[in-house]
Amino acid sequence: MSNPSVANPYEFPPGLPVPEDDGACSHLSGMAAPDVRLRGVDGKEWNLGELLRDKVLVYVYPATGVPGTDPIPGWDDIPGAPGCTVQSLGYRDHYAEFRAAGVEVIGISAQATTEQQEFAQRTQIPYLLLSDPTFKLRDTLRLPTFTAHGRTFYRRLALLFERGVIRRVFYPIFPPNENAAEVLAALT
Protein backbone atom coordinates (compact mmCIF):
# COMPACT_ATOMS: atom_id res chain seq x y z
CA MET A 1 0.00 0.00 0.00
CA SER A 2 1.33 3.44 -0.79
CA ASN A 3 1.47 6.00 1.95
CA PRO A 4 -1.40 8.39 1.19
CA SER A 5 -0.94 10.24 4.48
CA VAL A 6 2.33 11.77 3.26
CA ALA A 7 0.47 14.15 0.91
CA ASN A 8 -1.40 15.83 3.76
CA PRO A 9 -0.68 14.65 7.31
CA TYR A 10 -3.66 16.67 8.58
CA GLU A 11 -6.17 14.45 6.78
CA PHE A 12 -6.97 10.85 7.63
CA PRO A 13 -6.82 8.80 4.42
CA PRO A 14 -9.67 6.41 3.61
CA GLY A 15 -9.27 2.68 3.14
CA LEU A 16 -6.87 1.94 5.99
CA PRO A 17 -7.12 -1.32 7.96
CA VAL A 18 -9.36 -1.16 11.02
CA PRO A 19 -7.87 -2.37 14.32
CA GLU A 20 -9.79 -5.11 16.12
CA ASP A 21 -10.48 -5.32 19.83
CA ASP A 22 -8.05 -8.01 20.95
CA GLY A 23 -8.86 -7.60 24.64
CA ALA A 24 -5.44 -6.06 25.36
CA CYS A 25 -7.05 -3.28 27.44
CA SER A 26 -9.82 -5.25 29.16
CA HIS A 27 -7.91 -5.25 32.47
CA LEU A 28 -7.47 -1.47 32.73
CA SER A 29 -10.80 -0.25 34.13
CA GLY A 30 -10.45 0.44 37.85
CA MET A 31 -6.64 0.49 37.87
CA ALA A 32 -4.87 3.29 39.72
CA ALA A 33 -2.62 5.82 38.01
CA PRO A 34 0.95 4.58 38.33
CA ASP A 35 3.67 6.54 40.10
CA VAL A 36 5.92 6.88 37.07
CA ARG A 37 7.80 9.96 35.99
CA LEU A 38 7.68 11.15 32.39
CA ARG A 39 9.19 14.23 30.76
CA GLY A 40 6.82 16.73 29.21
CA VAL A 41 7.19 19.09 26.28
CA ASP A 42 7.48 21.82 28.91
CA GLY A 43 10.81 20.27 30.00
CA LYS A 44 9.49 19.19 33.41
CA GLU A 45 9.36 15.70 34.87
CA TRP A 46 5.80 14.76 35.79
CA ASN A 47 4.64 12.08 38.21
CA LEU A 48 1.54 10.51 36.68
CA GLY A 49 0.25 9.38 40.06
CA GLU A 50 0.02 13.05 41.06
CA LEU A 51 -0.93 14.45 37.67
CA LEU A 52 -3.92 12.14 37.23
CA ARG A 53 -5.63 12.86 40.56
CA ASP A 54 -8.28 15.02 38.90
CA LYS A 55 -10.44 14.26 35.88
CA VAL A 56 -7.94 13.71 33.05
CA LEU A 57 -8.24 12.15 29.61
CA VAL A 58 -4.95 10.50 28.61
CA TYR A 59 -4.64 9.47 25.00
CA VAL A 60 -1.75 7.19 24.09
CA TYR A 61 -0.60 7.14 20.48
CA PRO A 62 2.12 5.47 18.37
CA ALA A 63 3.99 8.48 16.90
CA THR A 64 3.33 11.70 15.06
CA GLY A 65 5.11 12.41 11.80
CA VAL A 66 8.44 14.22 11.91
CA PRO A 67 9.06 16.82 9.16
CA GLY A 68 11.78 15.74 6.76
CA THR A 69 11.54 12.10 7.84
CA ASP A 70 9.90 9.44 5.70
CA PRO A 71 7.24 7.33 7.39
CA ILE A 72 8.16 3.78 8.34
CA PRO A 73 7.62 1.55 5.28
CA GLY A 74 4.27 -0.20 5.54
CA TRP A 75 3.03 2.10 8.34
CA ASP A 76 -0.37 2.53 6.70
CA ASP A 77 -0.77 -1.26 6.53
CA ILE A 78 -0.59 -1.64 10.32
CA PRO A 79 -4.11 -1.50 11.80
CA GLY A 80 -4.36 1.51 14.09
CA ALA A 81 -0.89 2.91 13.38
CA PRO A 82 -1.66 5.89 11.11
CA GLY A 83 -3.60 8.89 12.35
CA CYS A 84 -1.66 10.28 15.31
CA THR A 85 -1.53 13.80 13.92
CA VAL A 86 -5.26 13.98 13.17
CA GLN A 87 -6.08 12.45 16.55
CA SER A 88 -3.95 15.06 18.33
CA LEU A 89 -5.51 17.85 16.27
CA GLY A 90 -8.96 16.60 17.26
CA TYR A 91 -8.04 16.98 20.92
CA ARG A 92 -6.55 20.39 20.17
CA ASP A 93 -9.71 21.53 18.38
CA HIS A 94 -11.99 20.24 21.18
CA TYR A 95 -9.71 21.27 24.04
CA ALA A 96 -11.94 24.15 25.20
CA GLU A 97 -14.90 21.75 25.37
CA PHE A 98 -12.90 19.29 27.48
CA ARG A 99 -11.88 22.08 29.86
CA ALA A 100 -15.48 23.31 30.06
CA ALA A 101 -16.44 19.75 31.08
CA GLY A 102 -13.78 19.85 33.82
CA VAL A 103 -11.44 17.46 32.00
CA GLU A 104 -7.73 18.02 31.32
CA VAL A 105 -6.15 16.35 28.27
CA ILE A 106 -2.69 14.75 28.11
CA GLY A 107 -1.08 12.93 25.18
CA ILE A 108 1.57 10.24 25.65
CA SER A 109 3.82 8.47 23.16
CA ALA A 110 7.24 6.85 23.19
CA GLN A 111 8.64 9.55 20.92
CA ALA A 112 11.57 11.67 22.05
CA THR A 113 10.62 14.84 23.89
CA THR A 114 12.32 16.93 21.19
CA GLU A 115 10.07 15.41 18.51
CA GLN A 116 7.01 16.05 20.67
CA GLN A 117 8.12 19.64 21.33
CA GLU A 118 8.48 20.30 17.60
CA PHE A 119 5.05 18.77 16.95
CA ALA A 120 3.37 20.72 19.77
CA GLN A 121 4.83 24.01 18.53
CA ARG A 122 4.09 23.34 14.85
CA THR A 123 0.47 22.33 15.47
CA GLN A 124 -0.18 24.62 18.47
CA ILE A 125 -1.12 21.85 20.90
CA PRO A 126 -2.44 23.58 24.06
CA TYR A 127 -2.21 20.58 26.39
CA LEU A 128 0.67 18.58 27.82
CA LEU A 129 2.44 15.89 25.79
CA LEU A 130 4.56 13.40 27.72
CA SER A 131 7.37 11.19 26.44
CA ASP A 132 7.68 7.55 27.54
CA PRO A 133 10.63 6.19 25.53
CA THR A 134 11.32 3.39 28.02
CA PHE A 135 7.68 2.21 28.09
CA LYS A 136 7.09 2.73 31.80
CA LEU A 137 3.32 2.81 31.20
CA ARG A 138 3.44 -0.41 29.24
CA ASP A 139 5.28 -2.07 32.08
CA THR A 140 3.11 -0.74 34.93
CA LEU A 141 -0.34 -0.80 33.29
CA ARG A 142 0.38 -3.56 30.74
CA LEU A 143 -0.52 -1.31 27.81
CA PRO A 144 -0.46 -2.83 24.32
CA THR A 145 2.37 -2.12 21.90
CA PHE A 146 3.43 -3.21 18.43
CA THR A 147 6.75 -3.44 16.62
CA ALA A 148 7.54 -2.09 13.15
CA HIS A 149 10.97 -1.98 11.54
CA GLY A 150 12.66 -2.91 14.80
CA ARG A 151 11.00 -0.13 16.81
CA THR A 152 8.30 -0.51 19.45
CA PHE A 153 5.27 1.77 19.52
CA TYR A 154 2.24 2.13 21.74
CA ARG A 155 -1.08 1.06 20.31
CA ARG A 156 -3.62 3.84 20.20
CA LEU A 157 -5.95 4.07 23.21
CA ALA A 158 -7.51 6.63 25.54
CA LEU A 159 -8.05 6.44 29.29
CA LEU A 160 -10.36 8.62 31.36
CA PHE A 161 -8.97 9.04 34.88
CA GLU A 162 -11.05 10.33 37.79
CA ARG A 163 -9.42 10.76 41.20
CA GLY A 164 -6.42 8.75 40.05
CA VAL A 165 -8.39 5.72 38.82
CA ILE A 166 -9.16 4.62 35.25
CA ARG A 167 -12.93 5.01 34.86
CA ARG A 168 -13.29 4.53 31.10
CA VAL A 169 -11.17 2.86 28.41
CA PHE A 170 -11.40 3.67 24.70
CA TYR A 171 -9.79 0.86 22.70
CA PRO A 172 -9.39 0.23 19.88
CA ILE A 173 -9.73 3.72 18.45
CA PHE A 174 -10.83 4.08 14.85
CA PRO A 175 -11.00 6.37 13.07
CA PRO A 176 -8.57 8.42 15.13
CA ASN A 177 -9.78 11.75 13.76
CA GLU A 178 -13.13 11.13 15.52
CA ASN A 179 -11.68 10.04 18.88
CA ALA A 180 -11.89 13.40 20.67
CA ALA A 181 -15.53 13.88 19.67
CA GLU A 182 -16.30 10.28 20.74
CA VAL A 183 -14.79 10.87 24.18
CA LEU A 184 -16.63 14.17 24.58
CA ALA A 185 -19.93 12.47 23.73
CA ALA A 186 -19.21 9.81 26.37
CA LEU A 187 -18.69 12.52 29.00
CA THR A 188 -22.28 13.76 28.70
Residue 41 identity (one-letter amino acid): V
Residue 4's pLDDT is what?
A: 42
In this prediction, residue 118 has a pLDDT band, given cuts at 50, 70 and 90, of very high
pLDDT digits (tens, 9 = 90+) for 131-162: 999 999 999 999 999 999 999 999 999 999 99
What is the band of 12 on the pLDDT scale with cuts at 50, 70, 90? confident
Find out whether 12 and 3 touch, Cβ atoms under 8 Å. Answer: no
Beta bridge partners of 60: 108, 157
Find the angle CA(36)-CA(95)-CA(4) to the nearest 5 degrees.
90
Going from the C-alpha of 169 to that of each of 72, 149, 179, 186, the distances in angstroms are: 28, 28, 12, 11
Whole-angstrom distance, CA of residue 140 vs CA of residue 107: 17
Cβ neighbours of residue 159 closer than 8 Å, sequence gap 6 or more: 28, 57, 58, 59, 60, 166, 168, 169, 170
Task: Report all structural domains of the chain as residue ranges with CATH numbers, in order of start.
Answer: 25-187 (3.40.30.10)
Q: Structure pTM?
A: 0.94
pLDDT tens-digit map of 84-104: 999 999 999 999 999 999 999
